[in-house]
Amino acid sequence: MTVVAVVGLGGMGSRMARRFLDAGHELVVWNRTPEKMPALTGLGAVAAESPADAARRAEVVVTVVSDPDALRAVTKGTTGVAAGSGEATTVIEMSTVGVRAVSELASALPAGTALLDAPVLGSLAEAEAGALRIFVGGPDPLVARWTPLLSVLGTPLHVGPVGAGAAAKLVANSTLFAVLGALGEALALAEGQGLSRDAAFDILAATPLSAQAERRRRAIETGDYPARFPLALARKDADLISEAAGAARTDLRLGEAARSWLAEADEGGWGHGDYTAVLAWIMGRRP
């Protein structure tokens, strides 16, 4: 059994931490808002005083926070993960933060501290069920060493050296956002031409968007988009995708269009709702 620290007990981190506990690992937790810790300490986890304290107490430190700024906040400085890490520590970065933040983290860690980046695909239900897809970046022996631990959370896929996990996650999300944008626009076009909603879904069933249309149909018809993956975080990912494309000199026109829909919906007040509420935003636009 491993002593695992989870830093960041949001929607994803709290569920991932619970899985480690249920699998019999010793769990240390830290969260900026301490009120989120008792749910896990009540089940046997130990509350750390700071991310550095969490790192000092654990063999593996998993970070799962919102964005690159949050990752900096929990890893740098005197109370950060780096300050509490040593040669026996492995840091596994599982937020969606992009390659630049991962390489910044690698530079901040002491020499000898091991690092994997392992962002995840899947949302709250998958985190709870241990059914996430995990894109892992790191050297072969380190990945092999921690694959059994990561398997508690889902299915690890080793995609390359450190940073490759972060890159892979952006590739995956670029497809999600482009598909949602296309779906929203197709529905708006159907409505604009006077086709009924039922007819629109029948048409979409005959297209490559068939599965997505069916999956989102209930939310579209009820207007209820329960927050699982907040739209503000999806916007952050779209910005990271754009930044990665710029650095890679890759022309992502659909990606930029999808990003603009998410940005508008966020500014229109949908940031705390689920990212799929971008569909409601697109369909509600009447330029």
Ligand X SMILES: NC(=O)c1ccc[n+]([C@@H]2O[C@H](COP(=O)([O-])OP(=O)(O)OC[C@H]3O[C@@H](n4cnc5c(N)ncnc54)[C@H](OP(=O)(O)O)[C@@H]3O)[C@@H](O)[C@H]2O)c1
Binding site for ligand X (CB under 6 A): 8-13, 31-33, 36, 64-66, 69-70, 73-74, 95-96, 120, 123-124, 228-230, 233, 237
Backbone angles phi, psi at 47, to 5 degrees: -85, 125
Q: Which is nearer to ligand X, 109 or 153 (CB)?
A: 153
H/E stretch holding 30 reads: strand 26-30
Q: Which is nearer to ligand X, 158 or 235 (CB)?
A: 235
Q: Which is nearer to ligand X, 181 or 230 (CB)?
A: 230
| Amino acid (1-letter code) at residue 120 | V
Q: What burial letters (b/e) apply to 80-96, b meaning 16+ CB within 10 Å?
A: bbbbbbeeebbbbbbbb
Q: Which is nearer to ligand X, 1 or 125 (CB)?
A: 125
How many angstroms separate the CA atoms of 64 and 32, rounded? 12
Q: Can you tell me which residue has the tokens 């890679």?
A: 248
Please count the helices (runs of H) and the strands (runs of E) in the chain.
14, 9
- In the bound state, the residue with its beta carbon closest to ligand X is 10
- Catalytic residue annotation: 169
> Would you say 118 and 93 are in contact if contact means Cβ atoms under 8 Å apart?
yes
CB of 75 to ligand X, least distance (A): 10
CB of 280 to ligand X, least distance (A): 18
Dihedral class, residue 223 (left if φ above 0, else alpha if ψ from -120 to 50, else beta): left
CB of 57 to ligand X, least distance (A): 18
H/E stretch holding 61 reads: strand 60-63
Residue 59 structure tokens: 């063999």
Residue 220 structure tokens: 């579209």
H/E stretch holding 156 reads: strand 154-160
Of the candidates 74, 57, 56, which has an alpha carbon nearest to the alpha carbon of residue 13?
A: 74
Q: Which is nearer to ligand X, 113 or 173 (CB)?
A: 173
Neighbouring CB atoms inside 10 A of 102's CB total 24
CB of 137 to ligand X, least distance (A): 15
> Would you say 80 and 23 are in contact if contact means Cβ atoms under 8 Å apart?
no
CB of 268 to ligand X, least distance (A): 19
CB of 87 to ligand X, least distance (A): 26
Q: Which is nearer to ligand X, 69 or 224 (CB)?
A: 69
How many angstroms separate the CA atoms of 281 and 272, rounded? 14
